[in-house]
Amino acid sequence: MKKLITSTFAVVAVLFAFTSCNNSDNSSKSGALSSNNAEKVYVAPGEHDSHYAFLSGGYSGNLTVYGLPSGRMFKEIPVFSQFPTSGYGYSEETKPMLNTSHGFIPWGDAHHPDISQTNGEVDGRFVFINENNTPRIAKIDLKTFETTEIIEVPNSAGNHSSSYVTENTEYVVAGTRFSVPIPQRDMPIKEYKGNFQGALSFISVAPETGNMDIKFQVLMPGFNYDLSHPGRGKSHGWFFFTTYNTEEANTLLEVNASQNDKDFIAAINWKKIEEYVNNGGGTMMPANYAHNVYDEVTHTATSTMKKEVRVVNPSEVPGAVYFIPTPKSPHGCDVDPTGEYIVGNGKLSANLTVHSFTKMLDAIKNEKFAGEAYGIPILNFEDVLAGVVEQPGLGPLHTEFDGKGNAYTTFFISSEVVKWKLGTWEVIDRKPTYYSPGHLAIPGGNSGKPFGKYMFVMNKITKDRYLPVGPELEHSAQLYDISGDKMELLLDFPTHGEPHYAAAIPASIIKDQSQKIYKLADNKHPYAAKSDADTKVIRNGNEVHIQMTTIRSHFSPDNIEGIKVGDKVFFHITNLEQDFDVPHGFAMIGQNNSGLLVMPGQTKTSVWEPKEVGVWPFYCTDFCSALHQEMQGYVRVSAEDSDTPIKWSLGEDIE
């Protein structure tokens, strides 16, 4: 009996030892791991993130700037939408930025930011981004982080397979998602098939200035050109576009455009077309599109209407365009850093199709065609196929690369991101995302040199990820550490608007070029007042121009008389400060306009049309200094038929 008891004790003791040992192992492991993840995203107060991320704002029309790994938002850059915060699209200087062939448009749908490149590497000079609804491409200067150019894209509709740059930023490319009659005309919708066309626009970027100009448009068959990517390295000179609706349906597309087992990836040899165009090829067709340029010296944008565009029919340039059959309405069209593999993310397919650029060239060389569509040769699926990632998930949308031979694909339906190996096509890891991811981004993702440390996924559905805030939610994003074999979820952060794609870059490439002020001496705004002596109020008919200055902590002048009901008053405000981060604001009571936020050295203009007599105050809206509250002034508004003379003052009374 005693023996039994002792041995029982012994067994219990051994078990206890085991379990307790296991317990302590588990707890210490999970504890260490989770605290490790917190450390990986913790950027101590006052310290800086290692990467910038530029997230499109989707239907906000803007671009947001985030830091990685912290997930903190630093700035919202107004691009296609009016932005009352700064007065963008409200000030006289920036209204022309939003001009189009349809007139002034206050809003846009911004999709795919892409950073300019030199020799296939992100160079941090510009970010380009497309507007989907009223087709436009914008350029954001990464010295000022402001939008400096917007070009409208004619003959396009649903500017979605945009705005990706080639490896030396020779072109920023904009493809149409919706095919339309070219030129636009009154015709029955049911005659879509064979009559509508899709324009793929190659917008040249001047090497020094970055100025954009539509070099040519390739008029393709009436499919939907969904997404695109440039060839790079060995495939530099080519551009690849996914298509859907090769059925050319014009109604109930969710069914009618999902009938073909395979749609196409269109491979465009743009170097060949460029050569053709440089030799006078193509046709200039009448068009009407806006080209808006912001001049940082005059602080003013101008909008010019362009009246023609060069179009190229693919049949004119033999050997320039081919179709690669790709299963099931492919969405993302992604090219790996070497330029060899072209991933077609067939969104209704269970498998992921990868094409080989080398095999494509072979098939073209040997003229192994399966047929043709509208005169464009169709290659054989099997001849071009590099491999298939079998059953990686449901609903593949987009793929990015880490530069170490791995690819990462988002799966919308199964709500996950899957890591797989280029060449062997084996799945290495999968992690859930929350919920239903769209794009993902790796710094330097669309380039020959990705920086494969972080990857983040931008999701379409948020639901319960954050504290509830009613029916309308911001979207969620998740940051993963991809430096190891397995992806590790580090951080979940809310974004603004609906980020589609994002472009990210190591901070070291751009942070030192970021401008602190605008030099007042360089300001060539026609209404700039560069000192108190330049301030004035001038009446010209019923227009009154007030050239006013701001400096801590007063407006000059701050007493103005002689304004009349019915006048159109232009407040031209110059901020005389030359100190970093000392903007001044301007707001006028009852003004049917936004306020202004004027950066040091800048001039901005706000229009006010007073409707009532009285003495109306204005004030600085940015808490600029200890005496910010004192930064105010008055405008006396007299009756239309009064003879109050125009007078102004600072520091003394108007007599």
Partner 1 sequence: MKKASVIMIIGSLLLLGLFKFPLWDIELGAPQYPDPLGMSIYIQGIEGAEEFDLQNIDGLNHYIGMKTIPKAEEMWEFTVFPKVIIGMVLLGVIIGVLGYFNKVNYKYFMGWFVLMSILGIMGMYDFNNWLIDYGTNLDPNAIIKVTNPDGTPMSYKPPLFGYQKLLNFDVTSLPDLGGYLLFLGMSLTLVAFWLGRRASLKKTT
Interaction site with partner 1 (CB under 8 A):
517, 551-552, 577-580, 626-627
Closest CB to partner 1 among residues 274, 622? 622
Distance CA 475, CA 494 (A): 6
Closest to partner 1 by CB, 533 vs 626, is 626
φ, ψ (nearest 5 deg) of residue 446: -90, 65
Question: Between 27 and 531, whose beta carbon lies closer to partner 1?
Answer: 531
For residue 520, the minimal CB distance to partner 1 (Å) is 9
Question: 189 or 626, CB closer to partner 1?
Answer: 626
| 238 phi and psi angles, rounded to 5 deg | -110, 160
Shortest Å distance, C-beta 579 to partner 1: 5
Collapsing DSSP to helix, strand or coil, 267 comes out as: strand
Give the span between the Cα atoms of 269 and 29, in whole angstroms: 53
Q: How far is the CB of 519 from partner 1 (least distance, A)?
A: 8
List, as one string, the DSSP characters of 315-381. GGSTTSEEEEEEESSEEEEEE-TTS-EEEEEETT-SSEEEEEHHHHHHHHHTT-EEEEETTEEEE-H
Smallest separation (angstroms) from partner 1 to the CB of 516: 9
Q: What angle do CA 152, 158, 162 make, to 5 degrees?
A: 70
* Distant-in-sequence, close-in-space partners of 637: CB < 8 Å, separation ≥ 6: 563, 564, 565, 610, 612, 613, 614, 615, 616
**CA atoms of 140 and 296, how far apart (whole Å):** 12
Enumerate residues 6+ apart whose C-beta is below 8 A from 269.
Answer: 237, 238, 319, 320, 321
Least distance between partner 1 and beta carbon 551 (Å): 7
Spatial CA neighbour of 199 closest among 81, 116, 121, 312: 312
Asked if residue 499 has a cis previous peptide bond (ω within 30° of 0), the answer is no
The smaller minimum CB distance to partner 1, of residues 615 and 627, is found at 627
Q: Supply the DSSP symbol for 404.
A: S
CB of 49 to partner 1, least distance (A): 17
- Which of 64/556 has CB closer to partner 1? 556
Question: What is the secondary structure of 36-83 as a DSSP string?
Answer: HHHHHH---TT---SEEEEEE-BTT-SEEEEEETT--EEEEE-SSS-B
Q: Which amino acid is at 152?
A: E
Name the minimum Å distance from CB 600 to partner 1. Answer: 9
Strand partners for 259 = none
Helix (H, G, I), strand (E, B) or coil at 14: helix
Kindly tell me which of 122 and 507 has the beta carbon lying closer to partner 1: 507
Minimum CB distance to partner 1, residue 582 (Å): 9
Name the minimum Å distance from CB 286 to partner 1. Answer: 50
Looking at beta carbons only, is 517 or 607 nearer to partner 1? 517
Is 205:170 a contact under the CB 8 Å cutoff? yes
Contacts of range 80-85, beta carbons closer than 8 Å, 24 or more positions apart: 80/105, 80/107, 80/108, 80/109, 80/110, 80/131, 80/136, 80/138, 80/150, 81/57, 81/106, 81/107, 81/108, 82/106, 82/107, 82/594, 84/594, 84/595, 85/597
Smallest distance, partner 1 to C-beta of residue 576, A: 9
Q: How far is the CB of 73 from partner 1 (least distance, A)?
A: 21
Q: β-strand 283-295 against 262-269: which pairing, if any?
A: unpaired
**Is the backbone peptide bond immediately before 163 cis, with ω within 30 degrees of 0?**
yes
CA atoms of 165 and 175, how far apart (whole Å): 12
Instruction: Return the number of the residue (44 or 467) whose C-beta is nearest partner 1.
Output: 44
Burial class (CB in 10 A: 0-12, 13-18, 19+), 605: buried
Closer of 536 and 552 to partner 1 (Cβ): 552
Q: Name the residue nearer to partner 1 (CB basis): 516 or 611.
A: 516
651: Cβ contacts below 8 Å, ≥ 6 apart: none
Q: Would you say 38 or 627 has its CB closer to partner 1?
A: 627
Structure tokens at 333: 């069209």
Whether the CB-CB separation of 402 and 334 falls below 8 Å is answered with: no
Closest approach of Cβ 262 to partner 1, in Å? 59
Comparison of 453 and 530: residue with beta carbon closer to partner 1: 530
SS3 (DSSP) at 135: coil
Shortest distance in whole angstroms from residue 578 CB to partner 1: 4
CB of 46 to partner 1, least distance (A): 8
What does the CA dihedral 77, 98, 603, 606 come to, rounded to 10 degrees? -110
Nearest approach, Cβ of 461 to partner 1 (angstroms)? 41
Please give the Cα distance from 452 to 433 (Å, whole number): 19
Q: Would you say 394 or 517 has its CB closer to partner 1?
A: 517
**Nearer to partner 1 among residue 213 and residue 581 (C-beta):** 581
Residue 172 C-beta: closest distance to partner 1, Å: 35
User: How is residue 517 annotated by DSSP?
Assistant: -
Nearer residue to partner 1 within complex by CB, 162 or 602: 602
Token pair listed for 48: 């800086």
